[in-house]
Amino acid sequence: AQSVTQLDSQVPVFEEAPVELRCNYSSSVSVYLFWYVQYPNQGLQLLLKYLSGSTLVKGINGFEAEFNKSQTSFHLRKPSVHISDTAEYFCAAPRNTGRRALTFGSGTRLQVQP
């Protein structure tokens, strides 16, 4: 079964600075990976997904992620963050083939400071 690990529980960053949120995965089968964002008091929203093809995936709100098979990583990046990016970010993957459910990492809280 796939599992995902988010290495940082909190990431403070100043506005307009670049940011990277780290995610590592384990898998012995095909790899699908996702990043979701949860704004305060809201549900989760899909930011981007990797299913196959180009290893650099672009998502909404200027975020992108790079799938790295050799390092089993799927780190999320943004070159310049805004106050409005303050939220909880979750890396996720399918639980296992046929289960049709996602397993989520423990989350990284991005705190953008002025």
Partner 1 sequence: DAGVTQSPTHLIKTRGQQVTLRCSPISGHKSVSWYQQVLGQGPQFIFQYYEKEERGRGNFPDRFSARQFPNYSSELNVNALLLGDSALYLCASSLSQGAPNTGELFFGEGSRLTVL
Which residue number, 50 or 85, has a Cβ lying nearer to partner 1?
Answer: 50
Long-range contacts of 23-30 (CB under 8 A, 24+ apart): 23/73, 23/74, 23/75, 23/76, 23/91, 23/105, 24/71, 24/72, 24/73, 24/74, 25/72, 25/73, 25/74, 25/91, 25/93, 26/2, 26/72, 27/2, 27/72, 27/93, 29/2, 29/96, 29/97
- Output the smallest distance, CB 17 to partner 1, in A: 25
- Output the smallest distance, CB 107 to partner 1, in A: 5
Contact set with partner 1 (CB under 8 A): 32, 34, 41-46, 49, 51, 90, 92, 94-95, 99-107
